[in-house]
Amino acid sequence: MNKPKKFPLKKELSTIQLIVIFYLSALVISTILLLIPIARHEGVSLSFIDALFTSASAISVTGLATITIKDTFNNFGIFLLCIILQLGGLGVMSLSTFVWIMIGKKVGLKERQLIMIDQNQSNLSGLVQLAKRIFITIISFEVIGGIILGFRFMKYFESPTTAFKHGFFGSISAATNAGFDITGESLIPFSNDYIVQTIIIILMIIGAIGFPVIVEVYEFFLSLKSKKKYHFTLFTKLTTSTFVILTVAGAIIIYLLDSYHFFADKSWHESFFYSLFHSATTKSAGLATMDLNEFTPSNQLFISILMFIGGSPSSASGGIRTTTFAIVLLAVFFYARGKGSIKIFRRELHNEDVLKSFIVISTAAILCLVSVLILSVTEKGTVIEVIFEVSSAFGTNGLSMGLTPRLSTFGKILIIILMFIGRVGIVTCLLILRGKGNSQEKIHFPKEKVTIG
């Protein structure tokens, strides 16, 4: 008697595929919420593509907008936008984990794997504690920043309610590196208020430097009380040093490239804050204290490069990330010196991490170059405007030279894809098709050298 034929079970989704599905689901739900009429000012319409674009920009904490936020959404709509920004900035799984803990749900192995991928971690240990600390730390900074900015904004707005609304929205937008504003002019109205700018810069750094770095700094201060020697991880040392170097060098180069143009008639303190602020904001925040069209094309191109690099891994930032950039530069430097390995901070990097860094930067460069080529044909904008827009979208930054509202429907869809890839990460996107586990190669061919360079 023949046995009944067994059909293979449907392939289970991998952890990476689930993460992408969660973000896509969040995108769909956010779009539906923003389309609710009670979220908008009376008589204001919002098309589906603009709602989708705004939702994608909020989930990816980019800040590019085809509409004016303050003219489109009422207080309820702005509240919804704040919730979406928290979801995008903290990460879907970190926020979900905190909710699970609050309702007493056990965080199982599958959930821990999702947190690991969402926060770009390499092991499962301490993930729940990491998620809790990320949530508590970021929310605390947002509240403190919101209160300080609220009191400061009372000199600009007639009612305390309006001042604190702007204060808390600005704090959330900066800490999550979202780049949205409800002034209609970003931070240009506060271009001479160095207190506001300093608070915003601190919040932007908190969101971009990497959540594990913040946790390690917190643990370092705890160790001072117990007088125990604390050792920072290689990740924290590498990402923090790269972040600081890029920010300081970025500010200097931004000033030098426009020293005889935009900064020619500016005082030293005006030049200092304009340069520092716009170097810090390129890490992913996207807030601006001036019209970026006033910069020279060379400066606009340099800012595009900074946006392409983005902020640190495991943060609210996008782009190729600072560690990727640092590892590629280190690899070139050590190769030029004839070294077979990369040694930094008395540690040696894994070859797999070096290879992954080159794959990320190569894939990102090809993706952005192709996007620039396509948009330069389909959109009515100069090449530098297109380069700036693509870099801003991929780096989940939000800075723009004014091309965003003029994008065609096709252009909006392409920018949405770039924002999504920038937020989820190149590596995650490349691994979507892998499925569960690592496939082992069963067939090998003879190796042969190929001339390079």
DSSP 196: H
Mean pLDDT of each 10-residue bin along the chain, 453 residues long:
47 65 86 93 91 92 90 93 86 55 53 53 58 80 95 92 94 90 90 94 91 82 78 88 95 95 93 95 90 95 95 85 92 88 86 89 95 94 94 92 93 94 81 59 78 72
d(C-alpha 311, C-alpha 396), whole Å: 10
- Return the pLDDT at 345: 87
Beta carbons of 191 and 291 less than 8 angstroms apart? no
Cβ atoms < 10 Å from Cβ of 254:
25
**pTM for the model:** 0.87
Three-state secondary structure call for residue 355? helix
- Return the pLDDT at 97: 55
Helix (H) / strand (E) element for 31: namely helix 15-34
- Return the pLDDT at 8: 45
DSSP 401: S
d(C-alpha 398, C-alpha 63), whole Å: 4
- Return the pLDDT at 438: 53
Give the dihedral sign, CA 357/359/363/365: positive
d(C-alpha 176, C-alpha 266), whole Å: 31
